[in-house]
């Protein structure tokens, strides 16, 4: 146990996902947005009372109506929110004035049912771009969802936000500090059009710690840099990407600057599991690929190299075929725009040295190929004498990815 002067944390996984923290209720149901009979497609996460809130949003210049509305509401409320309403099956993106009106109405209907103001409701959508919401189905579903709010339904929320995801994604941890324990929970969706670049993936996090909005925003942004913004499936930044977090304060632990590292540890632990689950479940993915880049001059340069490697179709297809083609890795690093000396660069796959001092070690290729035949692949690139590095997660590129996306709207 940490002493009273130390914020040193003990982070322990717990069950219940986004509903693990105290002070929240949720509900999910079939509104009829998805055509599959009974498929959950609308969910509400509600705090028992108005909570601190924060969000990070897509950097895509084409932003869906719910992104625009949630940004406005967070600004108008100065980082306070009572609920998040989310639908799947329709992105409500590129839908003009009607789309904005529909997103606003979703918040207004949720607010009325919860006896709060629309500015205290955030909204998110995911699905096909360029299609209008079926508001004649969404509006009554919102009322029914609010009436069904209850603790312990995080697994239903996780299923309600899925589109091409193969499985729901949720995780939660309890963080023990010298002042007591608090819990962080979360759920996310995403399988394709994944390179969040935030600031089609959605992430929702909750905590029962009391957190000032400014601190919550800072912690969310910092944790996302190493998790949600360190993943890529296909290099495509969605129109709808967002991660939202609510802090209920129900556990009695207040986060200040001293306990900020504890909050960050909790958000990192949950977000990392969700981010990796997104990549592992990427469209057509058969392998989770972890790329470590070291020896860069700055962390941002390491990140740029890692993302360029991770997004290379040639690298990703070589990994799918278990081909230890180090040349594709080096070539991708070389076009990243980062300056480094190839004569001082090394490449390892599964710990097997394939390239060093400007020369190949092709005699090691069979060992590396054996590693690539597994489902968890590790690539290490050392750029030389620099002191900075980062880790990025991606997946292989298979024919199944092409099939899924070739048939997405048909």
| Residue 275, number of CB atoms within 10 A of its CB | 27
Under a CB-based contact definition with an 8 Å cutoff, are residues 42 and 87 in contact? yes
What whole-number distance in Å separates Cα of residue 175 and Cα of residue 262?
A: 7
What whole-number distance in Å separates Cα of residue 56 and Cα of residue 217?
A: 8
Is residue 200 part of the annotated active site? The answer reads yes
Q: Point out the catalytic residue in the list 116, 174, 177, 200.
A: 200
Under a CB-based contact definition with an 8 Å cutoff, are residues 84 and 32 in contact? no
Under a CB-based contact definition with an 8 Å cutoff, are residues 220 and 267 in contact? yes
**In what order do the strands lie in the sheet containing 288-296?**
359-360, 352-356, 346-349, 376-382, 288-296, 388-395
What do you get for the CA distance between the two ends of the chain, in Å? 56
**In 148-259, which ranges are continuous DSSP H helix?**
154-160, 213-225
Residue 176, both tokens: 């023990």
**In 148-212, which ranges are continuous DSSP H helix?**
154-160
What whole-number distance in Å separates Cα of residue 41 and Cα of residue 62?
A: 24
Residues labelled catalytic: 200
């Amino acid at each position: 146990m940490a002493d009273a002067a130390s914020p040193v944390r003990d982070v322990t996984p717990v069950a219940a996902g986004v509903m693990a923290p105290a002070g929240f209720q949720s509900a999910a149901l079939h509104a009829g947005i998805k055509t599959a009979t009974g498929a959950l497609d609308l969910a509400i996460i509600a705090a028992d009372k108005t909570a601190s809130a924060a969000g990070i949003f897509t950097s895509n210049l084409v932003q869906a109506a719910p992104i625009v509305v949630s940004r406005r509401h967070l600004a108008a409320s100065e980082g306070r929110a009572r609920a998040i309403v989310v639908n799947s099956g329709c992105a409500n993106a590129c839908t003009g004035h009607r789309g904005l009106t529909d997103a606003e109405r979703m918040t207004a209907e949720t607010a009325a049912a919860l006896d709060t103001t629309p500015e205290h409701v955030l909204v998110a959508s995911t699905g096909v771009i360029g299609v209008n919401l079926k508001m004649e189905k969404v509006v009554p579903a919102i009322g029914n969802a609010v009436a069904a709010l209850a603790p312990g339904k995080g697994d239903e929320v996780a299923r309600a936000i899925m589109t091409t995801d193969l499985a729901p994604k949720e995780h939660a941890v309890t963080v023990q500090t010298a002042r007591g324990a608090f819990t962080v929970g979360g759920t996310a969706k995403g399988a394709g059009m994944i390179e969040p670049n935030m600031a089609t993936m959605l992430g929702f996090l909750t905590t029962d710690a009391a957190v000032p909005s400014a601190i919550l925003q800072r912690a969310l942004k910092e944790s996302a840099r190493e998790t949600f913004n360190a993943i890529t499936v296909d290099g495509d930044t969605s129109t709808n990407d967002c991660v939202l977090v609510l802090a209920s304060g129900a556990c009695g632990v207040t986060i200040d600057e001293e306990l900020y590292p504890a909050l960050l540890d909790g958000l990192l632990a949950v977000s990392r599991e969700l981010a990796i689950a997104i990549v592992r479940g990427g469209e057509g993915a058969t392998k989770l690929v972890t790329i470590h880049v070291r020896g860069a001059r700055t962390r941002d340069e390491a990140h740029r190299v890692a993302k360029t490697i991770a997004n290379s179709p040639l690298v990703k297809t070589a990994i799918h075929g278990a081909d230890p083609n180090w040349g594709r890795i080096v070539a991708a690093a070389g076009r990243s725009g980062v300056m480094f000396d190839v004569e001082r660069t090394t490449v390892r796959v599964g710990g097997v040295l394939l390239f060093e001092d400007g020369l190949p070690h092709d005699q090691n290729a069979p060992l590396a190929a054996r590693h690539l035949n597994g489902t968890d692949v590790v690539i290490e690139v050392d750029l030389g004498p620099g002191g900075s590095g980062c880790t990025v997660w991606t997946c292989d590129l298979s024919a199944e990815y092409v099939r899924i996306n070739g048939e997405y709207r048909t």
